[in-house]
């Protein structure tokens, strides 16, 4: 296949370097750039993707690449895992939590750890496609008895590729940084490749420290190979910034309604199933649902409207033959389409650049930002013509401060999120009744050296030393600092609000699969009716999401005597409930089902928080807000900064 310059440069430098950062635009072949050297050198590799939708899409993309390059490949699935293997060059295996359970059942094994062992054992070259959650579980010894052997198997996977690295922020960014360091200390992943279309300079600075001067490649990367012609990677775009007023849904609806006839004509004139006349990307799932329902009420055929969003079954995310596709961040990665018209919201530089990069890949197009007044005013200074690089620089300035919370890993709470993974390993080693005490002590000392080495590399020695001291004090018992031990016990890669299986009557009415997973805050805030939990089926039943104002959520505790900016734990508040419009629901006790940490801040401060940091109103006067789990750690540090600057 013909290669871009950056693909040639990565292939040529593959054996000379052990760390690469590939920064090129969406659609420029980053996946191919990282896959070709793997198969050329007949290596096994792990590809890590932030969403399961992207994993499924990349399985198809990598399979197509392997077949095009003449590499024989077998895609392992729960349906064929017990069949006899042939002489294929490669096995391609996609694994997430749900699929791993399907593999376990198909292989008739007792637990997921045993299934994972069979899948990843390096009997032949393999390409594993996984999410960071699975990698975190393995290297936190969460698979118990299978964990040591799993970690040993990963030493056979020389290369790890993290795709869409810009999507990690705050707690997830801290976890990703330490996870890469930890796995390499275990002897795995001697080569690290990070892919991103839109990395922030602050994150790049962290990665340079972590990987010790990785080779940074962009679209202008130098290569000694002779050019064999040119190919257009991105076509010219007409960019418009349209004020959406107070309702981005109404603005998008009016635009589509005005152009309905030409969009339907464009669909009829183009037989390509990957072509969509118009794509709309909104920040909110509820906004996407509202827009879909508004179009149907106006006479649009629901069968001609594609929907790609969270809060719906993955198999329903179809675009073939649709006139318009309505998506959320789920469409940013994992769905490939051709379109000439994009309407989109942003919220930070990464989402802006990722979304605008979805149009203009296959021909000229138009991108329309559904902007608020601040964005509209900021973009007025754009000249009539602007190069994409200049636009990117302006976008980074406009959205500065809204991005990856790259400052967070260097704080006390950021250091805690990283030490927590090492502590998880330490605890599971100490709990092993078959373990030898001297060996346990050696492992504990080794973990300390891993943390110390990481701190020295990143320049965070003081923060990590303080956290280790506080963790040691917390482990000695007592209520002071108990939140630290509870956080360590419960922490996962994302450390977010729990999700639960739901049955959605509204989706059933739309003719789509009604079963999917949703987070509990969204159910309480946006559900049409109060969610109803039925113990017999262990399922929460809902009836879609409201198009108007959200429900008012309020915590039952007054928290009058508690200080703001201090981490607390729900263990000390067993009667804590989440009230929906002042009423209890069947899931009001969501924060007492297991321990959760939280922090209180003044309400005015909470109202200025990033949308990624959800909060609940509380206090007898409603003048405080509570933020839970990983978001609590970020907000705690933000409050410290606010106080220092006051």
Res 435: pLDDT: 62
The neighbour count for residue 469, using CB atoms within 10 Å, is 10
- Bridge partners, 45 (sequence order): 127, 159
Q: Once rounded to an integer, what is the mean pLDDT over residues 171-200?
A: 92
pLDDT surpassing 90 at residue 609: no
- pLDDT value of residue 512: 84
Report which secondary-structure segment, H or E, holds 151.
helix 147-153
Residue carrying structure tokens 């801290």: 174
So what's the pLDDT on residue 256? 95
- Condensed to tens digits (0 to 9), the pLDDT of residues 72-125 reads 999 999 999 988 877 889 999 999 888 999 999 999 999 999 999 999 988 889
Structure-block tokens of residue 37: 């050297």
Cα diameter, the chain: 76
> What is the C-alpha to C-alpha distance for residues 381 and 368, in angstroms, rounded to an integer?
16
Q: How, if at all, do strands 341-344 and 365-371 pair? A: parallel
Cβ partners under 8 Å of residue 395, min gap 6: 349, 352, 353
Question: What distance in Å separates the CA atoms of residue 72 and residue 57, rounded to the nearest whole number?
Answer: 20
Q: What is the pLDDT of residues 479-493, one digit of tens each?
A: 668 899 999 988 888
Rounded Cα gap, residues 121 and 283, in angstroms:
40
Radius of gyration of the chain measured on its C-alpha atoms: 25
Mean pLDDT is lowest, of 193-197, 233-237, 411-415, 527-531, for 233-237
Instruction: Measure the CA–CA gap between 335 and 329, rounded to whole angstroms.
Output: 11
* pLDDT band of 357, cuts 50, 70, 90: confident
Yes or no: say if 602 and 617 are a contact pair by the CB < 8 Å rule: no
Which carries the bigger pLDDT value, residue 195 or residue 348?
A: 195
Please list, in sequence order, all residues whose beta carbon lies within 8 angstroms of the beta carbon of residue 415, skipping any fewer than 6 positions away. 409, 460, 463, 464, 466, 467
| Terminal alpha carbon distance of the chain | 58
Provide the pLDDT confidence category of residue 235 given band limits of 50, 70 and 90. Answer: confident
| Whole-number pLDDT of residue 479 | 67
Domains of the chain: 5-217 (3.40.50.300), 237-398 (3.40.50.300), 411-490 (no CATH), 552-646 (no CATH)
pLDDT digits (tens, 9 = 90+) for 261-307: 999 999 999 988 889 999 999 987 778 888 998 999 999 999 999 98
pLDDT of residue 581: 93
Per-residue confidence (pLDDT) for residue 408, from 0 to 100: 95
pLDDT band, very low/low/confident/very high, at 563 (cuts 50, 70, 90): very high
> Residue 638: phi, psi to the nearest 5?
-65, -40
The residue ranges of DSSP E strands in 71-223, in sequence order, are: 73-76, 90-94, 126-130, 159-162, 191-196, 215-217
Nearest to 417 by CA among 577, 178, 165, 72: 178
- DSSP calls for 209-266: HHHTSPEEE-TT---SSPP-----SS--EEEEEEE-TT-HHHHHHHHHHHTHHHHHHH
Task: Answer with the residue of higher pLDDT: 189 or 56.
Answer: 189
Q: List residues bridging with 194 in a β-sheet.
A: 21, 162
Contact of 514 with 505, CB cutoff 8 Å: yes
How many Å apart are CA 213 and CA 208, to the nearest integer? Answer: 5
pLDDT of residue 401: 54
d(CA 127, CA 110): 25
Supply the pTM of this predicted model.
0.85
Whether 590 and 498 have beta carbons less than 8 Å apart is answered as yes
User: To the nearest 5 percent, what fractions of the chain are helix, strand and coil?
Assistant: 45, 15, 40
Whether 580 shows a pLDDT value over 70: the answer reads yes
List, for residues 6-49, the tens digit of each pLDDT value. Answer: 999 999 999 999 999 999 877 778 999 999 999 999 999 999 99
pLDDT higher for 612 or 224?
224
Confidence of residue 326 (pLDDT cuts 50, 70, 90): very high
- Candidates 496, 578, 614, 448; CA nearest to 132 is 496
- pLDDT at 2 > cutoff 70: yes
User: Is a pLDDT exceeding 90 seen at residue 639?
Assistant: yes
> Mean of the pLDDT values across residues 225-252?
80
CB 516 within 8 A of CB 312: yes
Q: Chain-centre distance of CA 534, in angstroms? A: 30
Give the model's pLDDT for residue 37: 96
């Amino acid at each position: 296949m013909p290669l871009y310059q950056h693909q040639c440069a990565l292939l040529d430098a593959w054996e000379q370097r052990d760390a690469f950062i590939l920064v090129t635009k969406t659609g420029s072949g980053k996946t191919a750039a990282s896959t070709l050297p793997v198969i050329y050198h007949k290596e096994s590799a792990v590809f890590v993707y932030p969403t399961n939708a992207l994993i499924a899409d990349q399985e198809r993309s990598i399979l197509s690449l392997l077949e095009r390059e003449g590499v024989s490949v077998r895609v392992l699935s729960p349906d064929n895992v017990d069949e006899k293997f042939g002489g294929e060059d490669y096995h391609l295996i996609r694994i997430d939590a749900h699929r791993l359970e399907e593999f376990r059942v198909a292989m008739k094994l007792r637990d997921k750890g045993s299934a994972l062992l069979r899948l990843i054992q390096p009997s032949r070259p393999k390409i594993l496609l996984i999410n960071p959650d699975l990698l975190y579980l393995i290297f936190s010894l969460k698979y118990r008895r299978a964990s040591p052997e799993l970690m040993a198997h990963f030493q056979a996977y020389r290369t790890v590729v993290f795709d869409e690295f810009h999507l990690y922020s705050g707690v997830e960014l801290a976890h990703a940084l330490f996870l890469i360091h930890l796995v390499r200390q275990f002897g795995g992943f001697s080569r690290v490749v990070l892919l991103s279309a839109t990395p922030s300079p602050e994150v790049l600075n962290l990665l340079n420290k972590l990987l010790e001067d990785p080779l940074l490649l962009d679209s202008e990367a130098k290569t000694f190979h002779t050019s064999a012609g040119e190919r257009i990677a991105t076509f010219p775009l007409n960019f418009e910034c349209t004020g959406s007023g107070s309702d981005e849904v109404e603005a998008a609806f009016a635009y589509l309604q005005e152009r309905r006839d030409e969009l339907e004509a464009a669909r009829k004139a183009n037989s390509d199933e990957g072509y969509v006349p118009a794509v709309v990307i909104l920040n909110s799932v509820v906004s996407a649902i509202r827009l879909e329902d508004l179009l149907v009420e106006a006479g649009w055929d629901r069968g001609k409207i594609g929907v790609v969003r969270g809060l719906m079954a993955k198999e329903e995310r179809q675009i073939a033959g649709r006139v318009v596709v309505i998506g959320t961040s789920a469409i940013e990665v994992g769905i490939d389409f051709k379109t000439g018209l994009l309407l989109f919201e942003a919220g930070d530089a990464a989402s802006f650049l990722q979304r605008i990069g979805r149009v203009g890949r296959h021909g000229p197009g138009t991108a329309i930002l559904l902007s608020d007044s601040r964005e509209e005013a900021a973009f007025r200074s754009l000249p009539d013509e602007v190069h994409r690089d200049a636009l990117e620089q302006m976008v980074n300035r406009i959205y500065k401060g809204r991005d990856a919370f790259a400052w967070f890993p260097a704080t006390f709470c950021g250091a805690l999120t990283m030490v927590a993974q090492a502590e998880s390993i330490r605890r599971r080693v100490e709990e092993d009744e078959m373990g030898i005490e001297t060996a346990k002590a050696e492992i504990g000392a080794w973990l300390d050296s891993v943390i110390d080495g990481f701190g020295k590399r990143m320049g965070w020695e003081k923060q990590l030393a303080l956290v280790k001291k506080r963790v040691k004090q917390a482990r000695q018992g007592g209520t002071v600092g108990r939140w630290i031990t509870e956080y360590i016990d419960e922490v996962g890669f994302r450390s977010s609000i729990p999700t639960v299986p739901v049955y959605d009557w509204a989706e059933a009415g739309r003719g789509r699969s009604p079963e999917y997973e949703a987070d509990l805050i969204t159910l309480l805030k946006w559900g049409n009716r109060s969610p109803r939990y039925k113990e017999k089926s262990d399922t929460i039943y809902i009836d879609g999401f409201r198009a108007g104002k959200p429900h008012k959520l309020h915590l039952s505790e007054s928290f009058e005597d508690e200080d703001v900016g201090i981490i607390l734990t729900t263990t000390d508040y067993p009667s804590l409930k989440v009230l929906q419009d002042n009423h209890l629901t069947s899931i009001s006790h969501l924060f007492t089902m297991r321990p959760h940490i939280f922090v209180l801040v003044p309400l005015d401060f909470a109202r200025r928080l990033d949308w990624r940091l959800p909060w609940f109103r509380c206090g007898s006067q409603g003048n405080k807000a509570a933020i839970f789990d990983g978001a609590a750690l970020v907000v705690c540090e933000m409050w410290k900064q606010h106080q220092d600057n006051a």
